[in-house]
Chains A and B, each alone.
Chain A
Amino acid sequence: MSDAVVRVRMARVEGAQLAQLVDDFRELVGTDRDVSDPAIARLSPDPYPDDEDASRSFQSATRDDLLDRRALDAEIVRTALADLRGDMDTMSQTEAFTEHDLTISPADVDAWLRTLTALRLVIAERLGIESDDDHDPDDARFGVYDWLGYRLELTIEAADELL
């Protein structure tokens, strides 16, 4: 069905914020990536925690490809957000809260979901979120984390309608 697309509506300021996070993420997983960064480890878990040899050979065979795929996913999201990019500090309030409709093709939906999830994983790693109770309402970064969860939930709901 050619008209089956996932529609996502977000304020300009949300799009600009998301674009910024995606740019940071692209740097993290880009070609100059630092594989000793714990966030990279969080994005590429060890499938053999009890077998050092199997773990090493699996990781060396697959980790780079996995991170390359994260970078490709992020590029798809970034391209879709191109029109919403902007300097949040100089944006007028009216402009900041103007809502924009984004249409995501079914082929790109997984890239969106994986990227929003990966962003949350990276933030969780930085904030040390290890259980459902790890939350600090005074730390704005938790706000970003929760907001990403909200955006992800909305995107999943819209995407599930096509299943």
Chain B
Amino acid sequence: MTPLASPDIEEIVDLAAAPMVPWEVVVWNDPVNLMSYVVRVFRTYFGYSIERATQLMRAVHHEGQAVVATGPRETMEVHAQAMHDYGLWATVRKAER
């Protein structure tokens, strides 16, 4: 009996060849935006608690930047675009490993 088909292991997708490289959204300090506003945007858009949103706002204000989200590149671009809608200065970059 001849097998109808034999699996060709060479064709198995090598997951390691396309690793899920995480990307991140960085929000940068800007003298224009009010602290209460930045906290509100982080709370309402990302759904962060008031504590986390405040902590991120402080990092932006005092350290000049904060990573506010991490994930697939396309998703991070959507988030950055939303931050721009709110008038925040956001960039997208590959996460440091």
Which residues from chain A sit less than 8 Å from chain B, CB to CB? 43-50, 58, 62, 66, 69-70, 110, 113-114, 117-118, 120-121, 124, 129-132, 134, 149, 152-153, 156-157, 159-160, 163
A-B pair count, CB < 8 Å, reads 69
The CA-CA distance from A2 to B77 in the complex, in Å, is: 35
State the 5 A-B residue pairs at the shortest beta-carbon distance, nearest first: A117-B87, A47-B80, A124-B32, A47-B92, A132-B31
Q: Does B55 count as interface, using CB distance less than 8 angstroms? A: no
B31 and A130: CB pair below 8 A?
Answer: yes
A47 and B34: CB pair below 8 A?
Answer: no
Give chain B nearest CB distance to A157 CB in angstroms.
Answer: 7
Main secondary structure of the interface of A (DSSP, over half): helix
Name the contact of A117 in the complex, choosing from B33, B81, B93 (C-beta under 8 A). B33
Name the contact of A69 in the complex, choosing from B33, B36, B85 (C-beta under 8 A). B85
A66 and B37: CB pair below 8 A?
Answer: no
Complex contacts, A129 vs chain B, CB 8 Å: 31-32
B36 and A157: CB pair below 8 A?
Answer: yes
The CA-CA distance from A132 to B62 in the complex, in Å, is: 12
Q: Does B52 count as interface, using CB distance less than 8 angstroms? A: no
Give chain B nearest CB distance to A125 CB in angstroms.
Answer: 9
Q: Does B46 count as interface, using CB distance less than 8 angstroms? A: no
